[in-house]
Structure 1
Amino acid sequence: MRIDLVDFRSTSPAGTTTPSLLSEWRVGALLQAIAVRDAASGQLWLDIGGQRHSARLASGNSAGPANGEVLQVRVLRNSPVLALETLSSSTPVTADADATVVADAMRRFVPRQESAALMLANLSWLAQGKNGASELPKAVMQAAAQLWQALPDADSLGDPKTLANAVLRSGAFLETNLADAARGAGDPKLLANDLKALMLTLSKTLRDHGARPNAAHSEIAMNAPVPTARGPLTALNAAPATFSMIEAADQQLNELSRQTEGAIARLTTTQITNSAPDPSVQSMLVELPVRHEDRASMLRLRIEHDESRKRSGGGDSWTVEAAMDLGQVGALHAKVTLTGHRIGVQLRAESAGIVDALSARAGELEAILRDSGLEIDRIVCLHGMPAGDSGARAARLLDVRA
């Protein structure tokens, strides 16, 4: 069903008025809402992120949601009214403390998340000293340069140790590394070069110099699918530098601040998805910005360890997926499955030319794997991205399939 929010003023019992979340809600964002019904009139409100909004049923079930019903909704549009599409609903349940923390974090970060591609494009713009870069505060330029230089170089990720170090510094483990440092353990260099820590530093520096992320031009925002622990691993598209369309230094500060906070929110959302509900299947999603010469792209990695086959006498199963946008030639996707000593490799590309190039070198890959003592299950090179995974497992974040 479709539900429209007709006003955005908080009507909390305390009578306090909080700012509208409309500026942070983007088309495609996923939200959790609780339906509230007036006992006498039946008037419907939706409680979203601690704010209660008057709502009306625009289409679908004429009765609408019942009082206390928990809804998962997606933003269809945010002008002239905020229209929400109901994706699923359930009766309220008593949640444990951990589940409550996760739900609160979802409501806070999911509406604000944004692909880091736009931020990366503008960092590249600043690193090259293009038009307008000299007018920004020196401290902002230094924080931006430090983040840009900390990005791992794409050419170096072929080395396993370099890749492992880049994943550790991706920001996905910042809080764990901080806890280790508090106990006197861990490597201080990890914290100094952690990408989330550097993004937080850049965000603070921008605000300290007057940046207002809510004043940025939202029409040039870049929506991205919410990171989930299930479903196909799609590539995040590269983006042009929005600074090329913004001349005023104050607007550039606002724009970079909004993009940085959106990237931090997305990274935090990704961390939430990594809280696996099934202890026998450990799944981790990492979105790693990588630098190649004067541009940067997002490398998405999903690593899954399945121990459920041990009960039937089988070996552990590992699956590693990677997806990356290659620019004009489209996306590249790789999936490697290792069960015991048997390995299977599936390579996909949107470009037929890339598929042909991969197929031509498949024999070399097979020889390398056999020399490593592995048995080859299959190596295939296919045209087109994955359509889906029917065996995907449930995650804490909602996965929407077309």
Structure 2
Amino acid sequence: MTESVVKDQPGAGRLAHASSDHPPVPRAKVGVVLANLGTPDATDYWSVRRYLNEFLSDQRVVDYARWKWQPLLQLIVLSKRPFSSGKAYRSIWNKEKNESPLLTITRAQTVKMTARLKALYGDDVEVDFCMRYGNPSTKSVLTRLKEKGCEKIVFFPLYPQYGSPTTASANDQAFRTLMKMKWQPYIRTVPAYFDHPIYLQALANSVQEAYAGLPTRPTKLVASYHGVPERYLMQGDPYHCQCQKTTRLLREQLGFSKEDVDTAFQSKFGPETWLGPATVKHVAELARQGHKHIAVISPAFSSDCIETLEEIEEEIRDSFMAAGGETFSYIPCLNDRDDHIEALLAVINNELAGWLPTR
């Protein structure tokens, strides 16, 4: 991949024709970064506030003019919200590891992906993960990979559907890091993969396995996606269309009828109109229509997190039960399931074409 080196120390060496005082140069490799949303470092007020400040200051997430939004954020939102968010995080926190489930799961995904890629490419590849907000930061991971000799990096935001507040924001942060590097690695970003056949099969497998383990079959499967303001759709963001297509492709993969599966959106924030129907209201309406047992799946999330483990498993479940529902079945995200890892591996291998031998 680069000029030959004379080995001086493990993983590094001198360029073959360089002077004796030339600094060691690591052997050229390809890096793969799995990028997820992020998590606070702890559940106390200040840890949650730091995380929310970074998250809600991102203009991909809240795109109001900074002079309007920042006073509201700093003086009102961040005075109150860390208390409620901290309580929500405490209800799902991985106490054994003292970290959020999102961090635990993303690390587990990375461990499995490392094993898969090492088996294919040996020491020619380095795998790591980063968070858009919180730790490990995008900057720290990309810098570390560059120092390890990764001259080329596949940067993989773990969002099946492209969204400006998610995929684009993750890519933005990667590019900001590159902007400050004297010697930038070549970088490839991974496109949306919601329609990849192996991903859809893994998603269908998770539904079929969940249904097989239930005493009664749900009369409705609700695919709940994280919401965005409705105007994003009008401004050209493809997220809504890709969510709707994900539901259709999943339904077809399962062989379900249109009446068996609904699409809804959760996590509304702020006063403007968001994509709908809102999951929390939709499940209550299903209960009032006579549906006693429903299942909910979250195809926009690659890992279970506060939006699934707290919002769906608590708030949305409570809404359904309070309206007359009897059985609420949440189908976990694909997390580190082997078929999910194989789907992500297929996507990565496609992006590695020309950089590493075809496998």
Of structures 1 and 2, the one with the larger relative CO (CA 8 A, separation 6+) is: 2
**Larger proportion of strand:** 1
**Larger proportion of helix:** 2
Higher radius of gyration, 1 or 2:
1
Regarding TM over 0.5, the answer is: no
- Give me the TM-score of the superposition, normalised by structure 1: 0.24
